[in-house]
């Protein structure tokens, strides 16, 4: 285990590395017209990247979620989306229903005692 000063240095370096992407986005955005085809392409890339990240977390999770069943995770997503729309775009209702279905399913499978 490295010391606190080493960890702090690594955190600062990683913070800078992360910010560089954000800063680069700002610098390049000055030349980008929101009505151009280029903008449309970049926003497709952004949406696809984020969708890829979420799909990977849900289908191939690591850590605690890896112990749960894929069917339960997908069922929870479906329930959350359905409840969200039925409750007229109410995010709270979506989250509560999704989690209830997920925990219920895990309970039935005996994952949670």
Binding positions for another protein, 14-43, rule CB under 8 A? 14-30, 32-34, 37, 39-43
CA distance 25 to 43: 12
Residue 86 touching another protein (CB under 8 A): no
Q: Which of residues 45-64 bind another protein (CB under 8 A)?
A: 45-61, 63-64
Residue 70 touching another protein (CB under 8 A): no
User: To which H or E segment does residue 22 belong?
Assistant: helix 4-29
DSSP E strand stretches across the chain: none
Give the contacts of 61 (CB within 8 A, at least 6 positions apart): 68, 73
Q: Shortest gap between Cβ of 83 and another protein (angstroms)?
A: 9
Please tell me the count of residues contacting another protein according to CB under 8 A: 79
């Amino acid at each position: 285990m490295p010391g606190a000063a080493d960890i702090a240095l690594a955190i600062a370096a990683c913070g800078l590395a992360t910010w560089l992407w954000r800063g680069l986005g700002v610098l390049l955005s000055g030349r980008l017209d929101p009505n151009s085809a280029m903008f449309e392409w970049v926003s497709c890339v952004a949406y696809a990247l984020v969708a890829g990240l979420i799909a990977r977390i849900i289908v191939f999770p690591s850590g605690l979620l890896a112990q749960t069943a894929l069917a339960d995770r997908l069922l929870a997503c479906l329930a959350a989306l359905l409840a969200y729309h039925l409750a007229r775009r109410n995010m709270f209702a979506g989250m509560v229903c999704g989690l209830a279905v997920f925990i219920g399913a895990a309970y039935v499978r005996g994952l949670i005692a």
